[in-house]
Structure 1
Amino acid sequence: MSEYSFKYGSTLCNFEIQSEDLLHILKPRYADPITDVQKKCIEALMNPIGTPPLERIINPGENVLLIVSDITRAWIRTNQFLIHIINYLNDLGISDQDISVLIALGTHRPSTEEEKQLIVGDEIYNRIAVYDHDCFDPEQLSYLGTSSAGTPIYIHKKVVAADRVILTGGIVFHLFAGFGGGAKGMVPGVAGLDTIQHNHRLTFYEGESAGLNPDACSNKIEGNPMRQDITEICRKVNPDFLFNAVLDAEGNFIEFVAGDFETAWLKGCNIIRQLYGVEVQQKADLIIASAGGYPKDINLYQSVKTMDNCIFGGKEDSVILLLAECRDGLGADEFLQWFQYDTLEKMEAALKQNFTVPGYAAYKAAYVAKYRKLILVSALEEKVVKKLGFIPVKSPEEALSLAYSLTGEHPKITLMPYGANTLPILI
């Protein structure tokens, strides 16, 4: 027997596993953190991928709009690199008065002034005009036609009116867009509600009860209908430059990529694959996973990403033992409301009528509950966990005993101690 530790909230849980039952231990690969953020930012800006340097793109007197991620993406640490981009623009002769920042809220709630200050940093907040995008306000939007997938293209007027547009963000695996970052700063970031909902419905096949399109998934770009639509729309808007960050599981900067919004982003996606995509030779009967402790398991909504990653590492009808404290409950207010629909088909129909990301996360949770047996160690009420279709337990010992009773005496086991960050890739 060997003992393995998993993060649970701010504590650790230990399991004893028979060595002969162990298939894989999946962990992110190590990469050296950036020690001089300013230096690396400037290097990226001066050596872009797929575009000329900014000094050959932007001219003094032009107005420049920077699109940044909202407070739900605070892990990107925009305030640590945005100041270096803006100071660099100043060096090129662009005054603070000609620079503005637009927060890419997508469908999220408005930012508070305190959140705006946290996002951009104290100095930039006091120097530069910072605005929120509002996808629900037609007065803020310009219509730019229709994509080949039939998506009506509504984009914030400030983006369309700006002389130069710079997208910023961070790159991670994404549940249905393949990867975060890149053109997602444009759609859903600064797009209208009709654009966002039509684009997000591409995660499902057309038609009643047609189900999820499996190509709209993590780690897939080519052939992913949602991502291809996002890219097409972004190319129509044609932002001038991109600056994206790649971070490790501890929140340290690993790399900055800059240049063309697609070409530079693809380099960042490949780095994410190398860091967090872990090859497996066999799917497991039992996956023991942690979301990675607090804050990654702060609520169930945040823990759905771990569930989705586990799907890729286990056989159909396998068992997932998930450690997710969920000290703040379910997370998004509307998450539980989606479970009024008692089948995936009914939930799908409702999502096609009114797509929301919390609704999609609820669908994914319900999908996991249908096709896997998920044992959840959490602080959630037992009745709530059962309503979600999961098996509630209160201790790791009880969870492991139950897992063995469901899988048999010697299941093939994969351990995912950083489940929110690691994606099993079958070879």
Structure 2
Amino acid sequence: MPRDDYLEVDLAYGRDGLKVRLPRGRTTLIEPTYVPGLPDQVGALQTALRNPLGAKPLRQLVQPGQTVAISVCDGTRPMPSKVVLPVLLAELGHIPSEDITILVATGTHRPNTDSELQEILGEGIFQDFRVVNHSAFDSNGLKRLEDTPAGIPVYLNRIWVDSDVRITTGFVEPHFFAGFSGGPKMVAPGLAGFDTIMRLHNADMIGHAKATWGVTHGNPIHDAVRDIARQTGVDFSLDVTINRDRDITSAYAGEMFQVHQAACRVAKGSAMQAVDASFDVVLTTNSGFPLDQNLYQAVKGMSAAAQVVKQGGSILCAAECSDGIPAHGRYQEILASASGPEELLAMINTPGYDRHDQWQVQIQAQIQIKARVLLKSSFLSQGEVRAAHLEYVDDLDAAVEEELARHGSDARICVLPEGPQTIPYVS
């Protein structure tokens, strides 16, 4: 095919990106609606904090002598905490720093290292404030609350529960089974105990038809997360939306549910993109660093692609995976315990089956029942990719050509350069 018949597309991949060549007449490019960053991000944050939705401003809400816990994203999320936290903490300037604890909402992820925390928060905040990695596995660091109306046992971080004032910070984007990130997810699973997280992520919840991207009404996971956050009592919330440049595009502060709803509207308008029909081949990423640092996280990019791939189609996922599979957690162990996606799903759906990270395997297997999944990674070996029941890609350009040829001369490809920052759907 002549060179003019191709277009070159920049993919979000690791920190530096990756270029791919695609046939012009057969390619549909889908990206989120670009929203420029706010011209004065600090000013917008200050305005939101001082004019909150349904709550008093922090300077009135928090009194000297009270203890404050602030929930923040861990290193797997591109939350601009370095920008957000200094503005938030300035509004708490009347509170001594020793009375403020910053809790890193890791869920079941590994704890962040000191160097990672400095990168996430900024060196000044890391040095001046008490920063604690949440652990879902430390029973001494958890406190039991009443079960949710649905009977989910609630274990939450003890520091969080015992603080006088509880504040969440997060960024909002569509989430592949909770509907949207941010808001109440900064409490659970972010600060929840292992038993709580397992119930939130069990096979029935994950397999529910409405536990998917951008769906809140009737989504049992979203409902449960809201119940847990409501039960613990969140006094104030700050949510932002961001664009591909990691610039803040909107900021809302105040009562958590009002704030989250407002940010979800913005995120949905940008990320959710309608298409007329499904595609034979979908090329996706996992939004580059930090989200594509391991294969576990890359399932999100696969899930975005699965929304518009034909039954029996092909998904090509480009995720750098600098952190490997990863080695921590049980995702790799579960993948290795069965011969393929059908057997994995049967195992996970067996009554009484209960394993850490089973939810990610379940979603991956569901995707693979629908389509072949191929992976381009700079850090995973061919053996590691195959052990995860995926097909290894060395040359991405060649893989695109091969998959289109596999599906015939009329086959069409959709590309999601920003991965799950874009959620396509067939209208």
Contact 2:299 2:360 in 1 (8 A): yes
**CA deviation after TM superposition for structure 1 residue 11, in Å:** 5.5
1:84-99 maps to which residues of 2 (within 5 A)? Answer: 84-90=87-93, 93-99=94-100
Contact 2:22 2:397 in 1 (8 A): no
User: What is the match of residue 17 of structure 1?
Assistant: 23
- Return closer, same or farther for 1:236/1:345 CA change in 2, 3 Å cut-off: same
Question: Residue 155 of structure 1 aligns to a residue in which SS?
Answer: strand
Deviations 1:287-318 (A, max 9, x none): 23344555554432332211100011122222
- Return closer, same or farther for 1:196/1:327 CA change in 2, 3 Å cut-off: closer
The letter of the residue matching 2:128 is R
User: What is the match of residue 146 of structure 1?
Assistant: 147
Is residue 375 from structure 1 mapped to residue 347 from structure 2 by the alignment?
no
**CA deviation after TM superposition for structure 1 residue 351, in Å:** 10
- Return closer, same or farther for 1:297/1:115 CA change in 2, 3 Å cut-off: closer
Measured in 2, the distance between the counterparts of 1:351 and 1:332 equals 27
User: What is the match of residue 256 of structure 2?
Assistant: 261
User: What is the match of residue 7 of structure 2?
Assistant: 3
Instruction: Give the stretch that moved more between structures: 263-272 or 116-125.
Output: 116-125
- Return closer, same or farther for 1:102/1:351 CA change in 2, 3 Å cut-off: farther
Deviations 1:249-272 (A, max 9, x none): 221221221111111011111111
The letter of the residue matching 1:81 is V
| Equivalent in 34, 46, 51 of residue 38 of structure 2 | 34
Measured in 2, the distance between the counterparts of 1:113 and 1:362 equals 30
User: What is the match of residue 242 of structure 1?
Assistant: 237
Measured in 1, the distance between the counterparts of 2:154 and 2:424 equals 35
- Return closer, same or farther for 1:103/1:13 CA change in 2, 3 Å cut-off: closer
Measured in 2, the distance between the counterparts of 1:378 and 1:196 equals 29
Instruction: Give the stretch that moved more between structures: 307-316 or 399-408.
Output: 399-408
Question: Residue 364 of structure 2 aligns to a residue in which SS?
Answer: helix
Contact 1:303 1:420 in 2 (8 A): no
Measured in 1, the distance between the counterparts of 2:24 and 2:98 equals 64
**CA deviation after TM superposition for structure 1 residue 350, in Å:** 7.5
**CA deviation after TM superposition for structure 1 residue 113, in Å:** 3.5
- Return closer, same or farther for 1:139/1:368 CA change in 2, 3 Å cut-off: same
Measured in 1, the distance between the counterparts of 2:156 and 2:393 equals 46
Q: Structure 1: any 5+ residue segments left out of the alignment?
A: none
Identity %: 28
| Equivalent in 284, 287, 292 of residue 289 of structure 1 | 284
- Return closer, same or farther for 1:87/1:138 CA change in 2, 3 Å cut-off: same
User: What is the match of residue 56 of structure 2?
Assistant: 52
User: What is the match of residue 196 of structure 1?
Assistant: 197
- Return closer, same or farther for 1:356/1:248 CA change in 2, 3 Å cut-off: farther
**CA deviation after TM superposition for structure 1 residue 237, in Å:** 1.2
1:249-398 maps to which residues of 2 (within 5 A)? Answer: 249-293=244-288, 296-333=291-328, 334-339=330-335, 340-342=337-339, 343-349=343-349, 353-357=353-357, 359-379=358-378, 380-398=380-398
Question: Residue 419 of structure 2 aligns to a residue in which SS?
Answer: coil
Q: What is the TM-score with the length of structure 1 in the denominator?
A: 0.88
Measured in 1, the distance between the counterparts of 2:118 and 2:384 equals 36
Instruction: Give the stretch that moved more between structures: 216-225 or 115-124.
Output: 115-124
- Return closer, same or farther for 1:250/1:362 CA change in 2, 3 Å cut-off: farther
Deviations 1:37-71 (A, max 9, x none): 32122111012123232234222332222122223
Contact 2:283 2:315 in 1 (8 A): yes
Contact 1:105 1:190 in 2 (8 A): yes
Measured in 1, the distance between the counterparts of 2:296 and 2:251 equals 28
- Return closer, same or farther for 1:194/1:393 CA change in 2, 3 Å cut-off: closer
- Return closer, same or farther for 1:38/1:400 CA change in 2, 3 Å cut-off: closer
Instruction: Give the stretch that moved more between structures: 328-337 or 145-154.
Output: 328-337
**CA deviation after TM superposition for structure 1 residue 199, in Å:** 1.6
Question: Residue 287 of structure 1 aligns to a residue in which SS?
Answer: strand
**CA deviation after TM superposition for structure 1 residue 397, in Å:** 4.1
Deviations 1:17-55 (A, max 9, x none): 252x44x32012111213433212211101212323223
Instruction: Give the stretch that moved more between structures: 164-173 or 383-392.
Output: 383-392
Is residue 68 from structure 1 mapped to residue 72 from structure 2 by the alignment?
yes
| Equivalent in 218, 225, 241 of residue 220 of structure 2 | 225
Contact 1:105 1:133 in 2 (8 A): yes
The letter of the residue matching 2:418 is Y
The letter of the residue matching 1:132 is N
Aligned residues: 415
Contact 1:153 1:191 in 2 (8 A): yes
Question: Residue 214 of structure 2 aligns to a residue in which SS?
Answer: coil
Q: Structure 2: any 5+ residue segments left out of the alignment?
A: none
Q: What is the TM-score with the length of structure 2 in the denominator?
A: 0.88
Contact 1:299 1:331 in 2 (8 A): yes
| Equivalent in 65, 75, 80 of residue 77 of structure 1 | 80
- Return closer, same or farther for 1:45/1:132 CA change in 2, 3 Å cut-off: same
Question: Residue 410 of structure 2 aligns to a residue in which SS?
Answer: coil
**CA deviation after TM superposition for structure 1 residue 234, in Å:** 0.8
Deviations 1:231-289 (A, max 9, x none): 01111111110012211122122122111111101111111112211111211122233
Measured in 2, the distance between the counterparts of 1:156 and 1:297 equals 27
